[in-house]
Amino acid sequence: MKCVIAGGNVKVLGRAVHSLSRIGDELYLEPTESGLSLRAVNSSRSAFAAFLFAPLFFQLYEPGSAGPDTELFRCKVHMKSFLGVFRSLPSLEKSVGKCLILLKPRASRLVLQLHCKHGVTKTHNLAFQECERLQAVFDTQRCVSRLCAPARLLAEAVVHFPPTLAEVTLGTGTSGRISLRNYVEDDAEPSKTMVTELWLAEDEFQSVAVAPGSHITFCLKEFRGLLSFAEASNLPLTIHFDKPGRPVIFTLDDTVLEVHLVLATLSDLDSSSQCPSTNGVSHLPAPPDDFGDDLESYMAAMETSEGCSEGPPSPTFPLRTPQPAKSKPQQQEEEEEEEEEEEEEGAVPGTPPHKKFRSLFFGSVMTPGRPGPATTQEVLAEDSDGES
């Protein structure tokens, strides 16, 4: 594979790598006919990100030739090594004119060459490993709810939460408002934890097509990486989500770039009690529709509901049960991963990060709209040589 990125796009590539570095420790490179795909997954398999750069993004794009029985060559590299080439975004912008990426399987080196000002050329030779295709199973068409917002709106929303906050809950109020709330773990003391909630009006979004009274809880840290990329590129962000427990999919679309971030969400303990009406009572009510500028009526609405609200301090998101022991593969790391992924085929993803979020399903692969023979797209499995 050989490709050349020129001008301002070098910085875009750099930003993409920064985003991916927030997800996982390894960067997967997959040249395809429709472009170069960079992907990453986190160690607990609860977050997956893919950046697809179309051929038009490049000054020159040669994915290489696939033989009749072989596929285009794929590899993965250490994230730190790749990120190191693009570490300083300001200096990329100022001094790099062109970036060449050359993948020569037989020479077993991935070459990244930056052509900089004043005739300086920086060449990085990275070691890589061959690997199978990394693909999470998700389908945006199957998601009940969809929100589209300018990245700036979401960036302004998350600023109210502390940078260290792990999980956030996105909810849809009954009057069409969208809320973001920090997720409080059930074993945290309610009398010690500050709760922050933000309400956004429907018309701040570019499009809203959501099931009222729904909510999902996902890892904010992993989302922030994509959010800063979206903000810098000034692209609107689309959020596809479904029931709690089903993954949430964030997408960015452009003529030359397509980004997907898939995060597992916290599943509810008690799925039987999920009727929207009970959600409405145990929540803070959404501000009334005639809210306008009147904070006072909002406070009044809060007061009237306080009398009747009851239940645990973190009302709507009770603890997820410990999942049945059959699949806790993410707890054994190292080389077991390939077998684990096969076990998880078809498993419903459960609950959140490190100890909580279980892995996404890495089953068989078809992403919507992606061409490709189904037969070769098997369960992703790591290279049988294991992790280096």
Q: Which residues are near another protein by CB under 8 A?
A: 160, 162, 177, 190-204, 284, 287, 291-296, 298-300, 302-303, 306, 309, 312-313
Choice between 318 and 372, CB closer to another protein? 318
Choice between 165 and 366, CB closer to another protein? 165
Please report how close the Cβ of residue 17 comes to another protein at its closest, in angstroms. 31
Q: How many CB atoms lie within 10 A of CB 359?
A: 25
The candidate with the shortest Cα–Cα distance to 24, out of 50, 43, 37, is 43
Please report how close the Cβ of residue 160 comes to another protein at its closest, in angstroms. 5
Q: What does the DSSP 8-state code read for residue 256?
A: S
Q: How many CB atoms lie within 10 A of CB 91?
A: 14
Choice between 90 and 307, CB closer to another protein? 307
Q: Residue 146: enclosing H or E segment and its boundaries? A: strand 145-150
Choice between 209 and 300, CB closer to another protein? 300
CA-to-CA separations, 134 to 36, 86, 376, in angstroms, rounded: 14, 23, 12
Please report how close the Cβ of residue 182 comes to another protein at its closest, in angstroms. 10
CB-based contact 253:51 (threshold 8 Å): no
Please report how close the Cβ of residue 351 comes to another protein at its closest, in angstroms. 24
Which tokens go with 50? 């893919």
Q: Tell me the C-alpha distance between 51 and 39, whole Å.
A: 6
Which tokens go with 197? 């909630």
Choice between 87 and 298, CB closer to another protein? 298
Choice between 41 and 184, CB closer to another protein? 184
Please report how close the Cβ of residue 213 comes to another protein at its closest, in angstroms. 19
Please report how close the Cβ of residue 283 comes to another protein at its closest, in angstroms. 12
The candidate with the shortest Cα–Cα distance to 50, out of 250, 346, 341, is 250
Sign of CA dihedral 117, 30, 367, 369: positive
